[in-house]
Amino acid sequence: MAEKAAIEKIVKETLSLGRKTLIEPEAKAVISLASIPVPRHKVVKDMAGAVEAASEIGYPVALKLISPDILHKSDIGGVALGIRDAGELELNWSRIILGAADEAPASVIEGFLIEEMAGQGTEVIVGGIRDAQFGPAVMFGLGGVAVELLKDVAFRLAPVSREEAFDMISEVKSYPLLTGFRGGSHKDLDAIADVIMKIGRIMEGVSAIKELEINPLVVYERGALAVDARAVLG
């Protein structure tokens, strides 16, 4: 795996800081090295930087809290979507800061992510886990908050062949949502299979990654985009 050394460098730097999780921009750097598409984004530390980054990326943008202590940002209101101008950016910045102070007062806030808005598509999840008995494995299923509710997922041991990746995609009950259910459009199954295979290669090649998750991976008629990512080291 050509990107292995660069990914291991990110992991080692994180561990040297005493952290066992990759914050979102670090996790996105890892999957970007494996050629998994992510939205354009920039890490900022203050409002002036946020306004500059949003102007550079182009409105509307998403604003996301960055904290190694908060794995699920949306649970504490740490995400604002569809921000249209600098005024809305400032309002949401203040709201998220105040919310984090109430909901997770002991958390370290490392900044914010300014990110381009992803277009609407079908949300799926692709993840990797390292099982003590079976080794690295890959997971696929319906994404967003539905994954915890419906647990509609399929697993395979890593690495995963293209044929196995397509088998995983077709196994989940929500498969018709990807193939034109009730007049919907057919989604790019090749793009999903590519991401499943790439996550499998990362999990096989980088032993210090215990868990790696893309949720959601937004899938379109052509292509897919990893909108959020996280990783746990071990």
- Asked if residue 149 lies in contact with residue 191, where contact means CB atoms within 8 angstroms, the answer is no
pLDDT value at residue 192: 98
pLDDT value at residue 184: 83
Per-residue pLDDT of the chain (234 residues; tens, 9 = 90+): 778 999 999 999 999 999 999 999 999 999 999 999 999 999 999 999 999 999 999 999 999 999 988 878 888 999 999 999 999 999 999 999 999 999 988 899 999 999 999 999 999 999 999 999 999 999 999 876 666 666 789 999 999 999 999 999 999 999 999 998 888 899 999 999 999 999 999 999 999 999 999 999 999 999 999 999 999 998
pLDDT value at residue 211: 97
pLDDT value at residue 149: 66
pLDDT value at residue 14: 96
Strands 21-22 and 224-226: unpaired
> Which ranges of 104-188 does DSSP label H, i.e. alpha helix?
146-150, 162-171
Helix (H), strand (E) at residue 43: strand 41-44
Rounded to whole angstroms, how far apart are CA atoms 118 and 66?
A: 19
Rounded to whole angstroms, how far apart are CA atoms 123 and 133?
A: 30
